[in-house]
Amino acid sequence: MAEKKKCLATVKSQSELAPGIYSLWLAFPEEYNVASMAKPGQFLSLYSDDGSRLLPRPISICEIDKKDGAIRLVYRVAGKGTAEFSSMHTGAQLRIVGPLGNGFPIEEGKGKRVMLMGGGVGVPPMLQTAKDLGTDTIICCGYRDELFLNEEFAAAGDLHIATEDGSAGVKGNVMDAVREDHLEADVIFACGPAPMLRAIKAYGLEKGIPCWISMEERMACGVGACLGCVCKTTHKYAHSHVNNARICTDGPVFEAREVEI
């Protein structure tokens, strides 16, 4: 199935938002318009031109421009593969597979007070999610130190920020911002590192708030090939008959009570 989704994307533009954090806009061939199919919380897998790196790099979708048929990825350079992508200029082409994964269930948030929580490179997928939900959305972003996309989030909803070093917003993590800023919600969508998602799951269980969490940090190949992303689930999946899910193909978004983190 993944084979069918493969295409050659063209770099529309690329810029560095903060040290090591890049924003990449991609355009797609007319006959395979990835942007028209994509939804927030899904991801693309990007292939390196270097034959020694066969597995693709999964990168979450930050923004979808359906009108212009373009998708924005915001990613951190974390190795040779992402370093190669960061050096690509306008007009360069790269092989991608996507859109992949299930995405956030936007319909679960309609008419409700939604809080979006993003940590680190889990921040970018919250931008299109916020845009699809509307400006009443509470957005809580956690950064290590340098901020990125914060101005765009401020325009997309009610933004609250936490930084580990206290250089902006609340000192600490997103849960510290929830407590200090007295944030309340009916439903939570979150993406970030496992400790953050674990804390959000515990908070949701304590308060009786449904939480949808994206576990994309745990992915490796992104296309179901390496089994490096398996997580334990509370129910058996029909296709596997076991209490396991592949984050890249069954997720990356799960209802928090369904998965062990």
Binding site for ligand FES (CB under 6 A): 219-222, 224-229, 246-248
Report the alpha-carbon distance of residue 242 to residue 164 in Å, rounded.
Answer: 39
Nearer to ligand FES, 175 or 229 (CB): 229
Establish whether the linkage from the previous residue to 99 is cis, with ω within 30° of 0. Answer: yes
Burial class from Cβ neighbours inside 10 Å (0-12, 13-18, 19+) for residue 65 reads middle
Nearer to ligand FES, 156 or 247 (CB): 247
Smallest distance from ligand FES to CB 248, Å:
3
Nearer to ligand FES, 199 or 247 (CB): 247
Smallest distance from ligand FES to CB 1, Å:
13
Smallest distance from ligand FES to CB 41, Å:
16
DSSP state of 231: E
Could you tell me the end-to-end alpha-carbon distance of the chain, in angstroms, rounded to an integer? 28
Nearer to ligand FES, 20 or 224 (CB): 224
Torsions phi, psi of 107, nearest 5?
-60, -25
Instruction: Tell me the sheet residues that pair with 71.
Output: 26, 64
Smallest distance from ligand FES to CB 221, Å:
3
Three-class DSSP category at 191:
strand
Nearer to ligand FES, 155 or 242 (CB): 242
Nearer to ligand FES, 202 or 225 (CB): 225
Report the alpha-carbon distance of residue 64 to residue 46 in Å, rounded.
Answer: 17
Tokens representing 73 are 């990825």
Contacts of 195 (CB under 8 A, 6+ apart): none
Asked if 45 and 223 touch (Cβ cutoff 8 Å), the reply is yes
Nearest CA-CA partner of 121 in 12, 21, 242: 21
Smallest distance from ligand FES to CB 229, Å:
3
Smallest distance from ligand FES to CB 38, Å:
19
Report the alpha-carbon distance of residue 56 to residue 89 in Å, rounded.
Answer: 19
Nearer to ligand FES, 2 or 11 (CB): 2
Smallest distance from ligand FES to CB 154, Å:
33
